[in-house]
Structure 1
Amino acid sequence: MAYTGRGRAWLRGPRAVGLLAAGAAVVLGLATGGTVTQAATTAKPKPTHTQIELLALNDFHGNLAPNSPTSSSGNVNGVPAGGAEYLATHLKQMRAAAAAQGRESVTVAAGDLIGASPLLSAAFHDEPTIEALNGMGLEAASVGNHEFDEGWRELLRMQSGGCLPDGDGQNNQNSCPDPEHPFPGAKFKYLSANVFFENTRTTLFAPYKIKTFKDGRKVAFIGMTLENTPNIVTKSGVEGLQFTDEAETANRLVPILKKKGVESIVVLLHEGGFPADPRAYNSCPGISGPIVEINNALSPEIDMIISGHTHQGYNCSLPDSDKQPRLITSASSFGKLITDVRLSIDNATGDVDRVNTLANNQIVTQDVAKDPRTTALITKYQTLVAPIANKVIGHLTTPSVSRTADDSLESPLGNLIADAQLADASTVTNGKTPVAAFMNPGGIRADLASTGGEVTFGQAFTVQPFNNYLVSMDMTGTQIKALLEQQFSGVNGPEAPKFKVLQVAGIAYTWNPAAPAGSKVVAGSIKIAGQPLVDGTTYRIVTNNFLSDGGDGFPAFTTATDKFFGGLDIDAFANYLTAHDPYTPVATDRISTGS
């Protein structure tokens, strides 16, 4: 049943039942004058259920300032949304409304709060985002894959605090820029139930958090990231860690939590799904993706899944293995939605009454007052980052350069970035100069915008926010062929939700959409440096360290030899724009389709 109102669509289980019983009489014993008399009085019955307000976020990615309302990152179905100042206000208002009705609150998150962040946060190693989330009252969060962008040791610092000796601005980053205010670390608890140290089999962070409310009711939050995290982050960032199956991990924790007297269990999972209609953020029409399989495998003792990773908004119940409804939610990304759950706990059993648990994905509208504390924080860091962000590094002859791909899956912006990597002198070593470059499209986070034709470092960083290093290496023609075929099979196959191909420079080829996996690339079509590719010839190529480690399902890169680390990808990008000022997008004619 759905309850709709302005900006709200409360969802509950398949049938409604009353939460409160009728009034009842009780008998009180009153001691007077040494005798006992009995008097009947009418009193409110003890409530049968406890209502808890559970507020959830995911995939914030350090988006402190609002994004453009005309971009998908800055609106929900045309409604301008997001921005930490508005997010903080909405959370406070929702908690206050719950308290006015006698409900306690808890605020949690499902990963990727930091990493792949705008320069405002990334320039300071995401310390501003952690501080902002501290002020918003976040209590627990699962780790996501992007929490590992700067490595697990840096993630430990995000939890515990302290400053990095990063050379006061080295690589356009500056830890603790205000020496009088060192970074305090996260007040909330990171959770990592399925992330283990290989040598000790202990988890990186606690696997769960148990929240005990005033009436003694307990709710456990199990926090996990996707098992596939090692394949989508830089290898060095997770070296020494092991990531285990999401459902198996959570199921093993259920009996442990029950021994601690916990019946209400919520999973904070940084993995998600894809609704058939991405606009339907308060339902899950035709939902597909990993979350469906994980839900099917999770113990029916687990009452709810708060998910993330796919940047989709959805909210519905899916059947668990006992055919009972279980809430599955996701709050999109960048602080545009808040999942508001009215968790109903049966006081007799201590377990979640799923039929009477309501959920609503609420848009973080910008028609509320900005939270002054968050505004002060953002203003402080905007002042500190301004000299870096506002530096003009080049000009465009067009309003922007698009990352939207053509039918062959090649994009103008992909070509620009690949060209920049190929031209970067920092990867030349021992007289070896790369002749081809490869860029993963998932690392291109936005179109390259300009302001009146001017491109600033901040705008370039929005496109490439990872601070990856460029790596040159030797690959044979045979290895390059294997690499190109890996674009069309396994996790990169056309059936994958985010099927895209590598963006290239110095290489051209044709692929056949109708051909079977393993033979998609048309024989004899590959040219490198303008010449036909030769199987036994060795070629010097360049890519980023994420792909170099086999990221995004490209193990062919791990077979390369004589690897040499150059400079940062963002520096290569910025330098190329400066050297080719003004820049005009080139034709997308490197990748073609045919038979």
Structure 2
Amino acid sequence: MKKPSSDSRFLGLQGLAETSGRTPSHRVAVMLAVLAVLQGCATPQTKEPELAAPAVRELSIFSINDFHGHIQAKSPTPLMPRLPDAQTGEIKPQPAGGVAHLASAMGKLRAGREHSVFVAAGDLIGASPLLSSLLKDEPTLAAIGELGLVASALGNHELDAGLRELQRKAQGECPAEGCAWPGFKGPGFPYLAANLLDAQTGKAMLPSHVIKEVGGFKVAFVGAVTRDTPLVVVPKSIVGLRFADEADTLNALVPKLRAEGAQVLVAVMHEGATHTGGAIDPSYSCPTLQGRGVDIAKRLDPAYAIIISGHTHQAYTCKINGRLLVQAGSYGGWVTESRLSLDAQGKVLSAEAVNHPVLQSVYAPNPAFVALVQRAAELTAAVRNKPVAMLERGAQRNSQAPFGDSPLGNLVADSQLAYAKKRGPADLALMNPGGIRADLTVEPGRSVTMSDLFAIQPFANELVAMTISGAQLRELLQKQLPKGDAPARLLQVSSSLRYQWSQSADGVSQLGDVTVGGLPLDDARNYRLVVNNFMAEGGDGQSVLRQGKERVSIGVDIDAMVEWLSENPAAANQIQSGRIVRR
């Protein structure tokens, strides 16, 4: 017997049709007669309108940030996902990332989502390992483009070599001598930065947004770079550019986006927050979340459905005033999935997010991307694999409380001071912690190579020796102390410099005793200081260093480290934290 319809309005007709008469023609005639009677009896007052169920559709927005050219799979680092070990259950960093594993992860994750899109929040390139940087990051852009990325916010490190060089690569143009990556045609996706302006005309220098149809909706992805870019990029790379406030710029675009038919607005910005909680907060409350990303989220127009962030290399899924603010760590170790349920007009009914760890043990490497990485390795092998020194131990870049210096920070500063002393008088060296990008890792029986050292200092900054007064040095050290509950990111110091600092209950930091070469700092005396050119030009807010006199460029930072370790293979054994002490 045919199964009756679940709609009661049709049960009587179907039953009557199935029991009346002995032939199909009889059943049809009966049905037509009954329908005619019902139609004749119906009145406008008694007819019930059929109400269509609201159309709810889900969109998945996958995102990454701060990839920094890490196309090669890496061993675990403190920045990788910290998860229980499969054997011991111990919480520790797991092997994750690498573009071949990322490709597999994206394929599997998107296969389960009918309507999905993939975007990035900047710094896909720049500060990259030699495998990518020696080839001008072209293999990274080619690989990310193959993953189906539709757009990326501009990151500050995308401007390391200047806007024109970024535009060349983004457009797939090759210089006269040819592209570094054979067959490079560009990434196939645009960089977005609504708040990157010509300093004189105020004209936008890059597209502000793209609108893509996803799941039947017109979704606008609107990009912004951190307004603090001048503090973290060498000034010569951003001459003639102005960086406007992120929230103000994105808010002003809302009418234009609506006029272009955008139903769903997504903010993708290279600015974020700091977070001491887990990568996934089921409550989305994230009580430890703080920083500029939070301030921007609070000021951003409610028209934006979600905020995808970057820059701070953190992994979090949080909500600010009920709206998602997410970030996917760094180096391809995580992928964020933000899932929106929308009504027919594109209004967000609910929003959820999860950070998926790109574990190498879970996602087998995609063969096509393995081949791409191997090709890059072959093209750069001669430089990368050059041995430097056989070391007994490595050095960590994280400071060790209660100290403000780290073993690796000390090692880098010592190398620069020793390098400078061979080329002229020098009293001390300072190193910005943000310029130290990886730990110095040592494997038994293997020499540390150029690749290992370049991972630590990937910018090839010039070292600058300058003269500053004791009073200026005191001012510099005082200004870099943390304010309030902000995390301490203190300048790393050579062995010739020692100082103490303290912080009161109301969050005011104060410099204490300072010695140079074992003697108390003399405000009236001149000292010969060594820093990289980024700091020398006022980077990281070190404006005092612009006052330095008698400037001399003495070489490249990576050369200083190579020379120091080659001549002192026991240097890492001798480095101890404690040059900076919080009282």
Question: Normalised by the size of structure 1, how large is the TM-score?
Answer: 0.82
- Cα distance in structure 2, aligned partners of 1:469 and 1:494: 33
Query: Residue 424 of structure 1 aligns to a residue in which SS?
Result: helix
Q: Which residue of 2 aligns with 1:551?
A: 539
Q: Which residue of 1 aligns with 2:179?
A: 176
Q: Which residue of 1 aligns with 2:75?
A: 68
Q: Is there any run of 5+ residues in structure 2 with no aligned partner, and where?
A: 1-6, 11-34, 40-49, 85-93
**Could you tell me how far 1:506 is from its partner in structure 2?**
2.8
Q: Which residue of 1 aligns with 2:219?
A: 219
1:456-495 equivalences under 5 Å are: 456-488=449-481, 492-493=482-483, 495=485
- Cα distance in structure 1, aligned partners of 2:122 and 2:443: 33
Q: Which residue of 1 aligns with 2:112?
A: 97
**Could you tell me how far 1:550 is from its partner in structure 2?**
1.5
1:156-175 equivalences under 5 Å are: 156-164=167-175
Question: Normalised by the size of structure 2, how large is the TM-score?
Answer: 0.83
Q: Which residue of 2 aligns with 1:29?
A: none
- Cα distance in structure 2, aligned partners of 1:24 and 1:440: 75
1:190-589 equivalences under 5 Å are: 190-213=191-214, 215=216, 217-280=217-280, 283-286=284-287, 287-319=289-321, 325-347=322-344, 349=345, 351-353=346-348, 355-366=349-360, 367-397=362-392, 399-406=393-400, 407-425=402-420, 428=423, 432-452=424-444, 454-488=447-481, 492-493=482-483, 495-514=485-504, 520-522=510-512, 525-583=513-571, 584-589=573-578
Q: Does 1:57 align with 2:51?
A: no
**Could you tell me how far 1:213 is from its partner in structure 2?**
4.3
One-letter amino acid of the structure 2 residue matched with residue 586 of structure 1: I
**Could you tell me how far 1:515 is from its partner in structure 2?**
9.6
- Cα distance in structure 1, aligned partners of 2:334 and 2:404: 31
Between 1:260-269 and 1:403-412, the stretch displaced more is 403-412
Q: Which residue of 2 aligns with 1:152?
A: 163
- Cα distance in structure 1, aligned partners of 2:550 and 2:525: 15
Deviations 1:222-272 (A, max 9, x none): 101111111122111222111111110110000111111223100001111
Deviations 1:540-568 (A, max 9, x none): 21101111122222211111123222322
Given the superposition, is the C-alpha separation of residues 48 and 587 from structure 1 closer, same or farther in structure 2, using an over 3 Å criterion? closer
Deviations 1:337-391 (A, max 9, x none): 21223333322x2x232x2344322222322332122111101011122222221
Query: Residue 73 of structure 1 aligns to a residue in which SS?
Result: coil
Given the superposition, is the C-alpha separation of residues 542 and 24 from structure 1 closer, same or farther in structure 2, using an over 3 Å criterion? farther
Q: Paired residues, what number? A: 527
One-letter amino acid of the structure 1 residue matched with residue 568 of structure 2: H
Q: Is there any run of 5+ residues in structure 1 with no aligned partner, and where?
A: 1-21, 26-37, 167-174, 320-324
One-letter amino acid of the structure 2 residue matched with residue 301 of structure 1: A
Given the superposition, is the C-alpha separation of residues 519 and 337 from structure 1 closer, same or farther in structure 2, using an over 3 Å criterion? closer
- Cα distance in structure 1, aligned partners of 2:303 and 2:563: 55
In 2, are the aligned partners of 1:307 and 1:328 still within 8 Å (CA)? Answer: yes
- Cα distance in structure 2, aligned partners of 1:499 and 1:224: 25
- Cα distance in structure 2, aligned partners of 1:365 and 1:128: 22
Deviations 1:502-545 (A, max 9, x none): 323432333334499887222xx433344443323222211011
Query: Residue 339 of structure 2 aligns to a residue in which SS?
Result: strand
Given the superposition, is the C-alpha separation of residues 452 and 202 from structure 1 closer, same or farther in structure 2, using an over 3 Å criterion? same
- Cα distance in structure 2, aligned partners of 1:242 and 1:356: 37
Given the superposition, is the C-alpha separation of residues 275 and 438 from structure 1 closer, same or farther in structure 2, using an over 3 Å criterion? closer
**Could you tell me how far 1:46 is from its partner in structure 2?**
8.2
Q: CA RMSD, aligned part only? A: 2.9
In 2, are the aligned partners of 1:191 and 1:224 still within 8 Å (CA)? Answer: yes
Given the superposition, is the C-alpha separation of residues 165 and 555 from structure 1 closer, same or farther in structure 2, using an over 3 Å criterion? farther
One-letter amino acid of the structure 1 residue matched with residue 319 of structure 2: S
Given the superposition, is the C-alpha separation of residues 219 and 131 from structure 1 closer, same or farther in structure 2, using an over 3 Å criterion? same
One-letter amino acid of the structure 2 residue matched with residue 343 of structure 1: L
Given the superposition, is the C-alpha separation of residues 588 and 96 from structure 1 closer, same or farther in structure 2, using an over 3 Å criterion? closer
- Cα distance in structure 2, aligned partners of 1:146 and 1:124: 16
In 2, are the aligned partners of 1:135 and 1:374 still within 8 Å (CA)? Answer: no
Q: Does 1:127 align with 2:127?
A: no
Between 1:44-53 and 1:87-96, the stretch displaced more is 44-53
In 2, are the aligned partners of 1:485 and 1:517 still within 8 Å (CA)? Answer: no
Deviations 1:421-453 (A, max 9, x none): 11225994xxx5222111112212222112226
Query: Residue 526 of structure 1 aligns to a residue in which SS?
Result: strand
**Could you tell me how far 1:475 is from its partner in structure 2?**
0.7
- Cα distance in structure 2, aligned partners of 1:534 and 1:410: 23
Q: Does 1:82 align with 2:93?
A: no
Query: Residue 293 of structure 1 aligns to a residue in which SS?
Result: helix
Identity of aligned residues (%): 37
Given the superposition, is the C-alpha separation of residues 414 and 356 from structure 1 closer, same or farther in structure 2, using an over 3 Å criterion? closer
In 2, are the aligned partners of 1:75 and 1:336 still within 8 Å (CA)? Answer: yes
Between 1:511-520 and 1:118-127, the stretch displaced more is 511-520
Given the superposition, is the C-alpha separation of residues 518 and 210 from structure 1 closer, same or farther in structure 2, using an over 3 Å criterion? same
